[in-house]
Chain A
Amino acid sequence: MKIAVASGKGGTGKTMVAANLAFTLAQACDVTLVDCDVEEPNLHLFFPAPVTATDVTVPVPVIDEKTCDRCGKCGEFCQYGALTVLRERILFFPDLCHSCGGCMLVCPKNAIHEVPKRIGTITYATPLPRLILVSGYLDTGNPHAVPVIRAAKSATASDNLVIFDASPGTSCPVVETLEGCDVCIMVTESTPFGLHDLRLAVDVADRLGVPSGIVINRSDGRDEATLDFCTNHDLDVIMTIPFDREIAAIQSRGDLICRVSPEWQKAFSALYVKCRALGGVDQ
């Protein structure tokens, strides 16, 4: 089963939910937790452990200036403006390249070949006997998060139970994370901003065919607007976490409420059962 944790708005508690769910499940079965928020991964803060790392690369074109006759076909083809063909030379902008390989295909002189370019790393750790933590790290200054997320996802493709912690927002990195998941836990907070972005995030999951369950975090008991939205859109609120000083204190020292409290472990076990029901998975 593949579970994504997303939110729309940042700072609602995706990582907190993902970490506690993974911790709870790892008491009873093998779990893989994947940090897909590759621009600022932070799950490792809750699971300090030694890591091994591998590079993530993408193919980028290299043009053989001797064979190239500056016909301009590659520049015309490139929809991303990564190749500009001038009379005397070709300019290549690696940050604009999406590694589609099209320039190589349209070159009539076969003057283009591809070389790997490093854009990030994937780290692997085993912080608990039954928990594997996979974290994607995008190199600073690199604009393309998606290939790093894709690499982190494919590294865990054959694992049975995987939890993906998405980045905030609703753009390509979130789409890449959600794609192929059985269910998405949407973590929200009862603020106008939280609800605004929840609406967008649920819509994205919906279009990808991934059913959503809602977790209201930092609830002050006045969640009417969010509850109304959920009722109107036929969404289940599968957990409510109160706005509580003790929870904040546990979280702030890098601990997990499920590590501290058996009650919370029970609550996250129940969350998992609801996820399975939502995702239509019966194992």
Chain B
Amino acid sequence: MKICITSQGSTLDALTEERFGRAPYFIIIDTDTESSEVLENPFAAAGGGVGPKAAQLINAHQVTALVSGMVGGNAREVLVAAGIQLYTYNSGGTVRDAMEQFNKKTLERVA
């Protein structure tokens, strides 16, 4: 299963980012193989409407679930319509920690 975790940096040891649309990086992880792919978010510093655009971007990478802190209304609508599951992680830890908690099923699913 492919999941997307919002991150402040480009590695698994980087800190997670609470914001979705303006996260600097999206780390896409295959939970079966633990291989990962880094996407730099082109909308991190854009003017407006970044939520739906970021949602469209991660949807194009065929992820099953998104792990982030806060997801705005418009982005959420796109993610839900695209069938992407939403999980909340806001302990401020690393991407690796978020991934481990996701695998242990300790994260709250919000949509």
Interface membership of A116, Cβ < 8 A: no
A280 to B7, CA, bound (A): 56
A82 to B78, CA, bound (A): 11
Does the CB pair A93–B52 fall under 8 Å? Answer: yes
Of residues 45 to 66 in B, which have CB atoms within 8 Å of A's CB atoms? 47-53, 55-56, 59
CB contacts (< 8 Å) of B31 on chain A: these are: none
Interface membership of B81, Cβ < 8 A: yes
Q: Using an 8 Å CB-CB cutoff, how does the interface string of A67-111 with B read, 1 for contact, 0 for none?
A: 000000001001111101110010101001000000000000000
Q: Using an 8 Å CB-CB cutoff, how does the interface string of A48-78 with B read, 1 for contact, 0 for none?
A: 0000000000000000000000000001001
Main secondary structure of the interface of B (DSSP, over half): helix
Q: Using a Cβ–Cβ cut-off of 8 Å, how many residues does chain A contribute to the interface with B? A: 13
Given the known inter-chain contacts A81-B74, A84-B55, A85-B56, please indicate yes or no for A96 contacting B49, CB distance below 8 A. Answer: yes
Given the known inter-chain contacts A75-B56, A84-B55, please indicate yes or no for A89 contacting B81, CB distance below 8 A. Answer: yes
Does the CB pair B81–A81 fall under 8 Å? Answer: no
Interface size class of B (residues with CB under 8 A): 10 to 19
Does the CB pair B50–A91 fall under 8 Å? Answer: no
Does the CB pair B48–A84 fall under 8 Å? Answer: no
Interface membership of B44, Cβ < 8 A: no
Beyond A80-B49, A82-B49, A86-B78, 11 extra complex contacts between A and B, CB < 8 Å: A75-B56, A79-B49, A81-B49, A84-B53, A84-B56, A86-B59, A91-B52, A91-B78, A93-B52, A96-B49, A96-B74
Which B residues contact A (CB, under 8 angstroms)? 47-53, 55-56, 59, 74, 77-78, 81-82
Which A residues contact B (CB, under 8 angstroms)? 75, 78-82, 84-86, 89, 91, 93, 96
